[in-house]
């Protein structure tokens, strides 16, 4: 059988017709609507991603979707079964065995999540990096489980899936949890909680009553709009979608600030210290300087040396993969305890752990490490912060690497640039706004 599982969605030829529940609907997977093809598994409508060939299965010419072909071919002759089960209300199922305590700001968010679940509403949860988002979800998920609902926590990033799965298995030890990502061995078997990458949602239709999307602004969810269709389709018609992010789009920010959408903002970190505010430092044409002298520009070199002396781990963010290497050579002249890492680096995980345990002191990286990795007492520099790759959201995430640990709640963030960009200004403004709201709410200590 195809690797296709799901209470709601199975490939027709592979199951016994008698097993199809009477409430099911059968649809054609790829359909031609008004002369345009559409894939009803992945939502693709881009005609470029459809191909027609002679199909051995049905002995005629079929059109199939290339966009989601890695998950098994969906064509004009494939059928999907969709059905929506009734809820089985069971207040005895809760399974939450987390005994930590929510901070007041986490509690406020948690109440909103429960409310959204109870009232089948959507919610934007805007919480700064390091606010402790995961714990804010526990009570809402508990309520959903008690109501017999199916829960999914999804995110664009595999490493986040793995991290979340550990935390949820600890918090809900008696609940069956499915963890799905490209290459994972597990299969979905009616599990009450599912933790998966957004691509895996293609395997589900009208399944989850509570869909939590973590890091909604992360790649590829932020640009591959067919995934939004996929996410919508994986949710039951009546249900709630909770979108979580530290860096909403400008449009979402505006809607939230004007209260046009149901939202909850958590502008303060759990340790009650403000977010480190980035400073800007002009560095001129640094590429030219490095090429000519094989050395880092003075101001950057001075900054790195200062924190090497203090024994701090240093993140140096750079614009492109190619530049990682030649910048690394220049950094090596200051300290040999340096390394560079990028998305295509096979030793990525080893290098990050060497940085974590102190064997590496300066880690040169592309935006690949803008999220997720937390190193206590790390100091953050961005080289070429004015370049296109460093969007408002990327810069806020990068700045969010600093000061996360309770013992090292302060940290330096510096943007080296050759002309201040609008995105830099917006990022700084967003961080200042969060600190301002944190103070207003009384959630920050004035130290
Ligand atoms: Zn498709
Ligand atoms: Zn066919």
Total structural domains in the chain? 3
Kindly state whether residues 425 and 331 are assigned to the same domain: yes
Between the CA of 78 and the centroid of ligand 1 the distance, in Å, is 11
Are residue 195 and residue 331 in the same domain, yes or no? no
Ligand closest in space to the Cα of 56 = 2
Radius of gyration, CA atoms only, the chain = 24
Whole-number Å distance, alpha carbon 54 to ligand 2 midpoint, is: 7
Per-residue pLDDT for the chain (447 aa), expressed as one digit of tens each?
233 344 444 333 333 334 444 556 677 889 998 899 998 888 888 999 999 999 988 889 999 999 888 878 899 998 876 655 555 656 666 788 898 899 999 999 999 999 999 999 999 999 998 888 999 999 999 999 988 889 999 999 888 898 899 999 999 999 989 999 988 888 887 788 999 999 999 888 888 999 999 988 887 888 888 889 889 988 988 899 999 999 998 889 999 999 999 999 999 998 899 999 999 999 999 999 999 999 999 999 999 999 999 999 999 999 998 888 889 999 999 999 999 998 888 898 899 889 999 999 999 999 888 887 789 999 999 999 999 999 999 999 999 999 988 899 999 999 999 999 999 999 999 999 999 999 998 988 865
**How confident is the model at residue 431, as a pLDDT?**
96
Do 259 and 124 lie in one domain? The reply is yes
**CB-based contacts of 439: which residues, under 8 Å, 6+ apart?**
274, 446
Shared domain for 118 and 261, answered yes or no, is: yes
- Confirm whether 3 is domain-assigned: no
Count each helix (H run) and each strand (E run) in the chain, helices first.
Answer: 11, 19
Domain-located, residue 238: yes
Q: Kindly identify the ligand whose nearest atom is closest to the C-alpha of 41.
A: 1
Same domain, 284 and 430: yes
- Cross-sheet strand order for the sheet of 177-180: 177-180, 193-197, 151-155, 208-214, 235-245, 123-127, 263-266
* Same domain flag for 235 and 110: yes
Distances (CA, A) of 438 to 100, 126, 146, 377, 423: 22, 13, 33, 22, 22
The Å distance, Cα 156 to ligand 1 centre, comes to: 18
Question: In angstroms, what is the span from residue 79 Cα to ligand 1's centroid?
Answer: 13
Is residue 28 a part of any domain in this protein? yes
Q: In this structure, how many other beta carbons lie within 10 angstroms of the beta carbon of residue 55?
A: 17
From ligand 1's centre to the CA of 69, what distance in Å? Answer: 7
250 CA to centre of ligand 1 in angstroms: 30
Where does 128-221 show beta strands of DSSP type E?
151-155, 177-180, 193-197, 208-214
| 38 CA from centroid of ligand 2 (Å) | 16
Regarding whether 357 and 416 lie in a shared domain, the answer is yes
Closest CA to 10 of 180, 2, 238, 182: 2
Would 352 be classed as within a structural domain?
yes
Is 78 exposed, middle or buried (CB count within 10 Å of its CB: 0-12, 13-18, 19+)? buried
Shared-domain flag, residues 246 and 390: no
- The verdict on residue 91 lying in a domain is no
CATH number at residue 212: 3.40.50.300
Maximum C-alpha span of the chain: 75
Residue 274 within any structural domain of the chain: no
Task: Examine the fold and report which residue of 206, 239, 266 is the final residue of a domain before the chain moves on.
Answer: 266
Name the phi and psi angles at 82, rounded to 5.
-125, 130
Domain presence at residue 287: yes
Same-domain pairing of 259 and 111 = yes
> How far does residue 45's CA lie from ligand 2's centre (Å)?
19
Cβ–Cβ contacts within 10 Å for residue 229, how many? 19
The pLDDT assigned to 91 comes to 63
- Same domain for 395 and 370? yes
Ligand nearest to the CA of 57: 2
Q: What is the pLDDT of residue 6?
A: 40
Q: Report the phi/psi class of residue 75: left, alpha or beta, with left for phi > 0 and alpha for psi in -120 to 50.
A: beta
Q: How many CA atoms lie within 13 A of 274 on its CB side?
A: 20
**Together in a domain, 258 and 120:** yes
Secondary element (H or E) of residue 266: strand 263-266
- For residue 273, is it within any domain? no
50 C-alpha vs ligand 2 centroid, how far in Å? Answer: 14
Range(s) of the domain holding residue 373? 279-440
Assess whether 238 and 305 both reside in one domain.
no
């Amino acid at each position: 059988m195809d690797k296709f599982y799901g209470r709601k969605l199975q490939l027709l030829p592979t199951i016994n017709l008698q097993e199809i529940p009477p409430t099911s609907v059968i649809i054609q997977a790829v359909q031609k609507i008004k002369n345009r093809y559409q894939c009803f598994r992945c939502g693709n409508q881009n005609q470029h991603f459809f191909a027609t060939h002679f199909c051995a299965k049905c002995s005629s010419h079929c059109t199939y979707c290339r966009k989601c072909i890695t998950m098994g071919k969906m064509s004009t002759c494939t059928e999907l079964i969709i059905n929506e089960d009734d809820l089985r209300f069971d207040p005895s199922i809760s399974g939450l065995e987390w005994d930590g305590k929510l901070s007041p700001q986490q509690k406020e968010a948690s109440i909103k999540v429960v409310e959204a679940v109870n009232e089948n509403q959507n919610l934007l949860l805007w919480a700064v990096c390091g606010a402790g988002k995961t714990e804010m979800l526990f009570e809402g998920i508990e309520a959903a489980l008690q109501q017999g609902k199916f829960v999914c926590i999804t995110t664009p990033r595999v490493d986040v899936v793995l991290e979340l799965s550990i935390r949820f298995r600890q918090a809900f030890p008696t609940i069956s949890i499915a963890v799905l990502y490209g290459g994972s061995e597990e299969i979905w078997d009616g599990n009450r909680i599912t933790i998966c990458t957004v691509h895996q949602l293609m395997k589900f239709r009208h399944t989850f009553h509570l869909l939590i999307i973590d890091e909604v602004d992360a790649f590829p969810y932020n640009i591959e709009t067919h995934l939004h269709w996929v996410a919508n389709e994986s949710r039951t018609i009546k249900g709630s979608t909770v979108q979580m992010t530290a860096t909403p789009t400008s449009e979402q920010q505006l809607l939230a600030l004007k209260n046009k959408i149901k939202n909850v903002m958590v502008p303060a970190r759990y340790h009650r210290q403000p977010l480190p505010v980035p400073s800007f430092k002009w560095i001129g044409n640094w590429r030219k300087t490095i090429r000519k002298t094989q050395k880092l520009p003075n101001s950057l070199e001075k900054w790195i040396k200062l924190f090497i002396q203090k024994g701090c781990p240093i993140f140096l963010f750079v614009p492109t993969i190619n530049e990682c290497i030649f910048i690394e050579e220049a950094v090596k002249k200051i300290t040999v305890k340096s390394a560079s890492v990028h998305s295509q680096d096979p030793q990525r995980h080893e290098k990050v752990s060497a940085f974590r345990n102190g064997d590496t002191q300066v880690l040169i990286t592309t935006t690949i490490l803008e999220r997720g990795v937390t190193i206590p007492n790390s100091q953050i520099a961005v080289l070429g912060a004015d370049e296109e790759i460093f969007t408002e959201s990327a810069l806020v995430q990068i700045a969010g690497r600093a000061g996360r640990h309770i013992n090292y709640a302060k940290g330096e963030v510096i943007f080296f640039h050759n002309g201040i960009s609008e995105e830099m200004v917006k990022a700084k403004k967003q961080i200042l706004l969060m600190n301002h709201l944190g103070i207003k709410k009384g959630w920050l200590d004035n130290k």
